[in-house]
Structure 1
Amino acid sequence: MSVKSSVFKPVVAADRVDYPQLEHAIQYWWDEQNVRQHYLKRNENSDKKYSFLDGPITANNPMGVHHAWGRTYKDLYQRFKTMQGYKQRYQNGFDCQGLWVEVNVEQDLGLKTKRDIEKYGIAAFVEKCKERVFTFSKRQTEQSVRLGYWMDWGNDYFTLSDENNYTIWHFLKKCQERNPDL
C-alpha cells in the first residue's frame, strides 16, 4: 500500500542525477582544458620542494575501495602542498613483485604447487606475471583517473623495472661496504 505524504514530494526519475554521466562530462572538460597538466606544472619553478612518493599499489587486480580511500588521502596531501606552492614529483608507482601477483597467476593457470610452476616453465610463468601486472596497472590507472587522482600518468614506476632492481642492489652494496658485518 502506497501512502502519500503531505510533507514530501515524490522523487521522479527526471530529478535523479546520472553520476557516471556527470563524472565523464567533468573528466572530458578537464581533459579538453588540460587542467591536470596545468596543475602538475603549476609550481615547477618553485624553490620550495615537497617530496612524496606513492607507496605503490600491487598491480594484481582492479582497485578495491580501500585502495581508493588510500589514494584519496594521498591526493589530498599532495593537493594541499601544491596549493602552498611546493614543487612536487607526481609519479605513481606499481608494485609488480610479490606473492599476490604469483598467487593470482597460479590460480589462473590452475597450478597447485611450486613444482607445477617448474613444469609450466619458470620463464613462461614470469611472463604471465608481467602480463597480469601490465593488465591491472592499466586498469588501476583508469580507475585512478576516474577518482580524479592527478598524477603524471604514463611516467609511472614499476618495481619490476631493471632500474628499480639495480637501484636496490646498489643501495644494499653501499650498506655492505659501510658495514661489512651486516
Structure 2
Amino acid sequence: MSAARFRPVPRRPDHVELERRVLAFWEEQGFFRRLLERNRGGKAFRFLDGPITANNPMGVHHAWGRTIKDLIQRYKAMQGFDLRWQNGFDCQGLWVEVEVEKELGFKCKRDIEEYGIGRFVEKCKERVRKYSAVQTAQSIRLGQWMDWENSYYTMSDENNYTIWHFLKKCHERGLVYEGTDVMPWCGRCGTAISDMEIATEGYRELTHRAVFLKLPVLDRAGEFLLVWTTTPWTLTANTAAAVHPELGYVRARQGGETFILAEARLELLPGVEVVERLPGARLVGLRYRGPFDELTPQEGIEHRVVPWDEVSADEGTGIVHIA
C-alpha cells in the first residue's frame, strides 16, 4: 500500500492557527518586500487609503473596506504596477477628544481648561499612538498588505507644516477670504462639526413640534401671513416667505385679525370668515415684517413673499419660512 501523499486534515481545522501560519510564511519569505522590489520602476499606480481615526480598535466596517482596498492593490501589483502601499491615521478631531474626555471623566470643555490644554492635547496624542498600533496589528492580522513602517499621521509636524505652507500659498494668491456660512454647531463641544460627525456619531431622528408664526403684512394693519416652519432655530435668519404660485390661498378673518394661508389648510383656523380667495401668484412681492427685525444682522433686509414650486398644502400653512 502506497504512502499517503497528503498530510491528514483534522475534522475540525483550527482556522485561526492556519491564518497565523500563512502570515508567518509571508513574513519569513519576505513576499511583500520582494513584490515591492520586483515592481519598482514600473508604471505607477497610486492609491492613498483614507485614514481611519485612531481613537479605538477597528470595527467590522473598517475590515470590510480594507479587504476591498487590499484586493484592488494586490490586483494592480500582480499586473506589475509600482504602488506606494500608503497607509495613514487620522489623529485629530472630536472623535479622539471625546474619547479622552470620557477616559478622564470630563463633563464639559471647562474641565479641559482646568486640566490644562497642553496636557489634554498630549493625552489625545497618547490615545492616537496606542490605537494606531492596535489598528496596525488588526490590519496585519486581517492579511492586508501596506507599508506599515511608513504610515503617515495627520498630527505630525510634517503634515501640519505642509498644510500651513499650502494655506500660505493660497493666501499669497488671494484665494483665502473671510465670509459667513450656515453650518452645524455643537454647543456642548463649542465647535463646528462635520457632516460625518453628525451622520455617524450624533444623528438621531426626533419628533419636534412645528412652529406657526403670524408675520405682519406691511401697509395692511391687522393682516398677517400665517407661516409654518420645522426649523425654528433658523428664524433669526429669515429672508423671505415662499408660496406656490398656482396654489389656492385665502384671506381669512378671525377675531379682528386677517390671516393669509392656503385654502386647503383652513382647518387650522376653525370658525374663520373667508374674505377673499386668490392664487399664490398674487401674493408674490408682498412685504412683511420679519420675526427678528430688531437684530443687527437683519438690518437692511426687506422681507418679501417669493414663489416656490416645492411649497405644498399637504402640511403646514402653504407658506414656508425661508432663511
- TM normalised by structure 2 equals 0.50
Kept in 2, the 8 Å contact 1:60–1:100? The answer is yes
Q: 1:181, CA displacement in angstroms? A: 5.7
Gaps of 5+ in 1: 1-13
1:32 aligns with 2:12: no
1:116, distance to aligned residue in structure 2 (A): 0.1
Shift in Å at residue 20 of structure 1? 1.1
Match of 2:105 among 97, 107, 110: 110
Larger radius of gyration: 2
Identity across aligned pairs (percent)?
A: 65
The code of the aligned residue for 2:26 comes to: W
Is the aligned partner of 1:177 residue 2:186? no
State the Cα distance separating 1:50 from its structure 2 match. 1.0
Residues 15, 60 of structure 1: alpha-carbon distance in 2 compared, 3 angstrom cutoff: same
1:40–1:90 Cα contact (<8 Å) kept: no
1:1-40 matches, within 5 Å, as 14-40=10-36
1:134 aligns with 2:129: yes
Residue 165 of structure 1: which of 160, 169, 173 is its match? 160
Q: Which runs of 5+ in 2 are unaligned?
A: 1-9, 178-323
CA distance in 2, matches of 1:85, 1:148: 20
Alpha-carbon contact 2:170-2:176 (below 8 Å) kept: no
Deviations 1:144-173, CA, capped at 9 Å, x for gaps: 001111111111100000100111111112
Could you say which residue in structure 2 is the equivalent of 1:8? none
Aligned residues: 168
Tell me the equivalent position of 1:125: 120
Contact 1:94 1:158 in 2 (8 A): yes
Question: Using the alignment, how far apart are the partners of 2:15 and 2:131 within structure 1?
Answer: 25
Match of 1:45 in 2: 41
Equivalent-residue separation in structure 1 for 2:67 and 2:87 (angstroms): 13
Cα pair distance change 1:144/1:49, threshold 3 Å: same
Write 1 or 2 for the structure with the bigger share of strand: 2
CA deviation profile, 1:110-146 (whole Å, cap 9, x unmatched): 0011100011111111111011000000000000001
| TM-aligned CA deviation for residue 180 of structure 1 | 4.3
Aligned residue for 1:15, secondary structure, equals: coil
Q: What's the secondary structure of 1:85's corresponding residue?
A: coil
- Is the 1:51–1:89 Cα contact (8 Å) retained in structure 2? yes
Question: For residue 23 of structure 2, what is the amino acid of its counterpart?
Answer: Q
TM-score (norm 1): 0.88
Could you tell me which residue of structure 1 aligns to residue 279 of structure 2?
A: none
Q: Which moved more, 1:75-84 or 1:145-154?
A: 75-84
* Native 8 Å contact 2:70 2:144 kept in 1: yes
Structure in which a larger fraction of residues adopt helix = 1
Letter in structure 1 aligned against 2:13? V
